Amino acid sequence: METLLAEKEELTWYLACRAEDVPADGGACVLINGHQIAIYNFARRGEWYATDNECPHRQQMALSRGMIGSQGDEPKVACPFHKKTFSLQTGQCLNDDGYQIMTFPVKVTNGMVYIGVE
């Protein structure tokens, strides 16, 4: 665990998993401080993202199993149950203004994935 100051907010970086544990163009779920966090390896874009694992629409822990893709230039994940789609950058629901999920910074160092949590 490593603590850094980022944009005036203190982040603690938690080791989440090995990069190879997250399928290319897919997701996995980790538990950090009792909070389920979905990690996405968006290999087609060469990018990593992390969000809440819970879809706020029906409070199901399922987003890590959702399909990832793009809406224009916006990377997104679709809930596997009811297809609500969320921006992987902002957490905003792209097809229903009433929902939002948390997003977390991700860094991959020496084949290990770290999630930044305030």
Q: What is the mean pLDDT of residues 53-58?
A: 94
Say how far apart CA 111 and CA 118 lie, in whole Å. 23
Contacts of residue 54, defined as CB under 8 A and 6 or more positions apart, other chains included, come to 36, 60, 61, 62, 63, 101
Higher pLDDT, 57 or 5: 57
User: What mean pLDDT comes out for the span 14-26?
Assistant: 98
Is residue 36 predicted with pLDDT exceeding 90?
yes
Residues 14 and 115 sit within 8 Å (Cβ to Cβ): yes
Which of 42, 21, 11 is CA-nearest to residue 117? 11
Residue 5, pLDDT > 60, answer no
Mean pLDDT in residue range 37-58 = 96
pLDDT tens digits for range 80-91: 998 899 999 999
How confident is residue 8, by pLDDT bands cut at 50, 70 and 90?
very low
Domains in the chain (CATH in brackets) are 22-104 (2.102.10.10)
Per-residue pLDDT, 7: 52
Which amino acid, residue 62?
A
pLDDT band at 97 (very low <50, low <70, confident <90, very high): confident
Triad 91, 55, 66: Cα angle to 5°? 85
| pTM of the model as a whole | 0.90
